[in-house]
Amino acid sequence: MSKGLLLYKWQPLSTNNPFLNYKICSMKLLIGILAMLLPVLSGAQPALTSLTIGDTVPGVIVSNVYNYPASAIRLSDLKGKLIILDFWGTWCGACIESFPEMHKLKKEFGDNLQLLFIDRDTNETETKVSAFFRKRKLRTGQYFEFPYVLHDTTFINYFPNTSVPHCVWLDSSLKVVAITGKEEVTAANIQKFLSGIPLSLPVKNDALAFNPQNSLLNGNINSPGDFIYRSVLTRYREGLGNTIGKSWDKNKNISRMYIINYSLFLIFRMAYPEVLKYGAGRTFIEAKDSLLYMRPANDDLVKKNLFCYEIITPPVPQPKITAYLRSDLLRCFHTIARNEMRPVNCYIVTANKLVKSSITAGGSRSSETGKESLHKYFTNVPVAELTAFLNTLLDRPVVDETGITQHIDIELPQGFYNYSREEMISFFYRCGFTLTPASKVMEVAVISDSEN
């Protein structure tokens, strides 16, 4: 017997029968050899390893496929020049919001684009997901036309991710050509790929995603340190995702706060919550670098206007943390936020003689104003809710001077979001609400350069 197979050496056991001892050891030897050979004999596959750009996905067969002619699918069966694996979940708002755009892309590129949706939550059942799609169909009238996979482990092992949407781009040979978030899945980028132009897209690497257990410098961008007090402000950090969080003790005192990859305007709102409480029509950016606070028209430039902030401190109350953040913003950007009274171009809402038709008939208080919803309405809600809605639609602030204390019911037309401003104003007039352009002195929020 070769040394390589000498796994057990005979030794006397707790019996006086040497032959029996030998048989026991021989059996152990046989079991040991079979244990080594079992993976080979059974054809068992080695553990799946993660793949990255440039790797090729093996020709695996995936089961638990729905919305597809078969319950199992071989990835190579998805014929097309580009295949996108879209990791999602029923609880992911950004994933759901992308469905209409994904349908548009499929319609535009046809068989050149194949999409396979993979539910990232392995606990979601077919009953739950089917119910989700049925409810969405009733609410929006839109079918979900793509195949999707439940209880997947194969793709999750190949492409581990901690946040969704998470999109893996494969060419026709199943080679990984990109791993991105949803923002990069655009008609322009798909057309570049189909035209033979190499993709150079930001890589969504969830292995680098911001770890709340580590500080921004310690463990997340590989710079060691242990701090009693420190604040840090950086520009956009690729791969860290976007998140906001705090650490506090039993007395609700805060020892750490982090804001990862958010707009400067949002960070200012966190620093000045009592000041920056108004919409765009009542907020003025008057700092020299005002473009830092704006969303660029070109989506490729958005990340340049994102920032990361973290503060570590001995435990202090929330107002103190907010004051620290304001001080850091002042030191870095030399800007402050304040309230002041100014004349503002606005709409004054008053009630006209048709308003009786909108006084509520009762029922449960509810509203549905989503763009995708087939049925858009307000039922038994106060006028303040309508005013808040109008403030999201119109180019000027809306001020309620109706004096109406009763709740209201309004049914919005199916094509409401395609209306021009004038058509919207005319519609609400017929509901009993007159919107009159005016100039009114009111409190506004101003972000401006500091005088000091």
Judge whether 168 and 154 are in contact, CB under 8 Å: no
**Confidence at residue 27, expressed as pLDDT on a 0 to 100 scale:** 52
Over residues 173-183, the mean pLDDT reads 93
Q: What is the reported pLDDT for 394?
A: 92
Strands 283-286 and 176-180, sheet pairing: unpaired
Mean pLDDT of 28-45: 44
Q: Which of the two residues, 25 and 379, has the higher pLDDT score?
A: 379
pLDDT of 220: 52
Question: Which residues lie across from 349 on neighbouring strands?
Answer: 400, 435
pLDDT number for residue 208: 64
pLDDT of 312 over the 70 cut:
yes
Q: What is the pLDDT of residue 221?
A: 46
Task: Tell me what pLDDT residue 224 has.
Answer: 43
What average pLDDT does the segment 300-328 reach?
90
What distance lies between CA 119 and its chain's CA centroid? 14
From 76, 84, 44, select the one nearest 58 (Cα to Cα): 76
What's the mean pLDDT in 196-209?
A: 82
Q: In the structure encoding, which two tokens stand for residue 407, read together?
A: 């709740």
Residue % of the chain over a pLDDT of 70: 84
Determine the pLDDT at residue 2. Answer: 38
User: pLDDT at position 219, please?
Assistant: 52
Whether 401 shows a pLDDT value over 80: the answer reads yes
Q: Residue 217: is its pLDDT beyond 70?
A: no
What is the structure's pLDDT at 76?
Answer: 83
Least confident span in 70-84, 171-185, 221-235, 315-329: 221-235
- pLDDT, average across residues 183-210: 87
Q: Look at residue 225 in the predicted model and tell me its pLDDT.
A: 52
Q: What pLDDT shows up at residue 218? A: 58
pLDDT at site 222: 45
In degrees to the nearest 10, what's the CA dihedral of 193, 195, 198, 202?
-40
In terms of Cβ atoms closer than 10 Å to its own Cβ (0-12, 13-18, 19+), residue 40 is exposed
Task: Please state the φ and ψ torsions of residue 128, each to the nearest 5 degrees.
Answer: -65, -45
Q: Which residues contact 168 (CB under 8 A, 6 or more apart)?
A: 84, 85, 87, 155, 159, 176, 178, 179
Residues pairing with 376 in the sheet = 412
pLDDT of residue 302: 67
Q: What is the band of 216 on the pLDDT scale with cuts at 50, 70, 90?
A: confident
Higher pLDDT, 207 or 378: 378
Please report the domains of the chain, with CATH numbers, ordered by start residue: 3-42 (no CATH), 61-207 (3.40.30.10), 211-274+304-332 (no CATH), 343-446 (no CATH)
* Cα–Cα dist 104/124, whole Å: 27
**Which band of pLDDT confidence, cut at 50, 70 and 90, is reported for residue 10?**
very low
Q: Taking residues 133-153, report their average pLDDT.
A: 92
> Is a pLDDT exceeding 50 seen at residue 112?
yes
Position with higher pLDDT, 368 vs 205: 368
pLDDT in tens, 259-310: 998 999 999 999 999 999 998 889 999 998 887 887 655 555 567 788 999 9
pLDDT score recorded for residue 5: 36
**128/302: higher pLDDT:** 128
Percent of the residues in the chain that have a pLDDT greater than 90, as a whole number: 65
Averaged pLDDT for residues 165-185: 93
Residue 19 has pLDDT above 50, yes or no: no
Sorted by sequence, the CB contacts under 8 Å of residue 21 that are 6+ apart come out as 10, 11, 12, 13, 15
How confident is the model at residue 283, as a pLDDT?
Answer: 93
**Tokens found for residue 108:** 């535009």
Q: What is the residue-averaged pLDDT of the chain? A: 85
The residue with greater pLDDT, 161 or 442, is 442
Mean pLDDT across 154-168: 90
Quick one: pLDDT at residue 45? 43
Distance from C-alpha of 73 to C-alpha of 43, rounded to nearest angstrom? 21
Residues 75-102 have a mean pLDDT of 91
According to DSSP, the residues that pair with 435 across neighbouring strands are: 349
Which pLDDT score is estimated for 432?
Answer: 98
pLDDT at site 251: 93
Alpha-carbon span 401 to 350, nearest angstrom: 5
- pLDDT for 59: 81
Q: Which of 30-44, 177-191, 236-250, 368-382 has the lowest mean pLDDT?
A: 30-44
Assess whether pLDDT exceeds 60 at residue 47. Answer: no
> CA 51 → CA 56, 116, 353, distances in Å?
8, 17, 67
Strands 230-235 and 306-316: antiparallel
At 146, list the tokens: 């793509």
